[in-house]
């Protein structure tokens, strides 16, 4: 269970999150929608521990732990995964090496046995296949020269390998073609289960026909202004955010 209470945060002295309250029970998928600049990515960074985001109030607990007191890598090891809206390029760092280093760093932190190169390759190939990605992806440098859609798929590949218990998907659907959208959604749905929960940030109702959310929240001006069932997304698509603002 992820519990966010009265969360306020600023960036460079500017208040962005103005009191977020949100409960995401284990096993559920919630969607967050909202206009550009409303603070969606800020929320995802605050949840994953990025520097430069100053928490000015409120609390976040994940499975009873004080998430805000943890380093980003500790959050990752305890199951938090952020699929970046803008995945970062790491020149010269091979994708396979990156993924295995990340997986083993998490395993080490959890006191689990690390995977060797062979076992990793087998696992990676499995996940690649499920996402209809070519093995070539493993040889390339992390996100370098990837198309927008390839970057997003690479995020989902990482998620599949790291097998998180809380995934925050920040506009993972943006830039995906129709087929990729379905494949990526299948990838997310494959993880769904009693021990997995997700916050899916999106601008488009279409994604939510593939990844059907348990709840939909509207984030505006740094607050959750409305929450509802999956039909809320349809209503927003038809009417825009104007009505929510009132």
Ligand X SMILES: Nc1ncnc2c1ncn2[C@@H]1O[C@H](COP(=O)(O)OP(=O)(O)OP(=O)(O)O)[C@@H](O)[C@H]1O
Binding site for ligand X (CB under 6 A): 11-12, 14, 16, 34, 36-42, 85
Name the minimum Å distance from CB 201 to Mg ion: 7
- Count other Cβ atoms within 10 Å, centred on residue 212: 14
- Stretch binding Mg ion (CB under 5 A), from 40-48, 72-80, 146-154, 156-164: 40-48
Q: Alpha-carbon torsion 106, 112, 116, 121, what sign?
A: negative
50 binds, among other proteins, Mg ion, ligand X, none (CB under 5 to 8 A by kind): other proteins
Report whether 229 contacts 217 (CB < 8 A).
no
Which residues on adjacent β-strands are paired with residue 224?
Answer: 219
Q: Which is nearer to other proteins, 133 or 216 (CB)?
A: 133
Q: Which residues of 91-118 are buried (b: 16+ CB within 10 A; e: fewer)?
A: eeeebbbbbbeebbebeeeeeeeebeee
Task: Tell me how many degrees the CA angle 140-146-151 measures, rounded to the nearest 5.
Answer: 105
Q: Which is nearer to other proteins, 17 or 161 (CB)?
A: 161
Q: Which is nearer to other proteins, 39 or 49 (CB)?
A: 49
Name the minimum Å distance from CB 179 to ligand X: 24
92 binds, among other proteins, ligand X, Mg ion, none (CB under 5 to 8 A by kind): other proteins
Determine the Cα–Cα distance for residues 31 and 67; give it in Å rounded to an integer.
Answer: 20
Q: Is 85 in the site for Mg ion (CB under 5 A)?
A: yes
Structure tokens at 104: 């083993």
Q: Is 38 in the site for Mg ion (CB under 5 A)?
A: no
Name the minimum Å distance from CB 30 to ligand X: 16
Q: Is 106 in the site for Mg ion (CB under 5 A)?
A: no
Residue 88's SS3 state is coil
Could you say which of 8, 41, 172, 244 contacts Mg ion (CB under 5 A)? Answer: 41
Residues in contact with Mg ion by CB under 5 A are 40-41, 85
């Amino acid at each position: 269970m992820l519990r966010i209470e009265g969360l306020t945060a600023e960036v460079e002295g500017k208040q962005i999150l103005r009191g977020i309250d949100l409960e995401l029970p284990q096993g559920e998928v919630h969607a967050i929608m909202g206009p550009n600049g409303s603070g969606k990515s800020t929320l995802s960074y605050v949840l994953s521990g990025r520097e430069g985001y100053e928490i000015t109030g409120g609390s976040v607990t994940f499975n009873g732990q004080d998430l805000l007191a943890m380093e980003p890598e500790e959050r990752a090891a305890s199951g938090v995964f952020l699929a970046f809206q803008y995945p970062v390029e790491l020149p010269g760092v091979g994708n396979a090496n990156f993924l295995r280093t990340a997986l083993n760093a998490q395993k080490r932190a959890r006191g689990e046995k690390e995977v060797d190169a062979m076992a990793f390759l087998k696992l990676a190939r499995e996940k690649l296949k499920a996402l209809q990605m070519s093995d070539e992806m493993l040889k390339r440098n992390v996100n370098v020269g990837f198309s927008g859609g390839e970057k997003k798929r690479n995020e989902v590949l990482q998620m599949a390998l790291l097998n998180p218990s809380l995934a925050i998907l920040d506009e993972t659907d943006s830039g995906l073609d129709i087929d990729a959208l379905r494949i990526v959604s299948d990838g997310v749905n494959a993880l769904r289960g009693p021990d997995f929960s997700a916050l899916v940030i999106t601008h488009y109702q279409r994604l939510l026909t593939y990844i059907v959310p348990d709840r939909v929240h509207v984030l505006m001006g740094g607050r959750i202004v409305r929450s509802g069932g999956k039909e809320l997304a349809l209503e927003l698509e038809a009417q825009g955010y104007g009505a929510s603002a009132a």
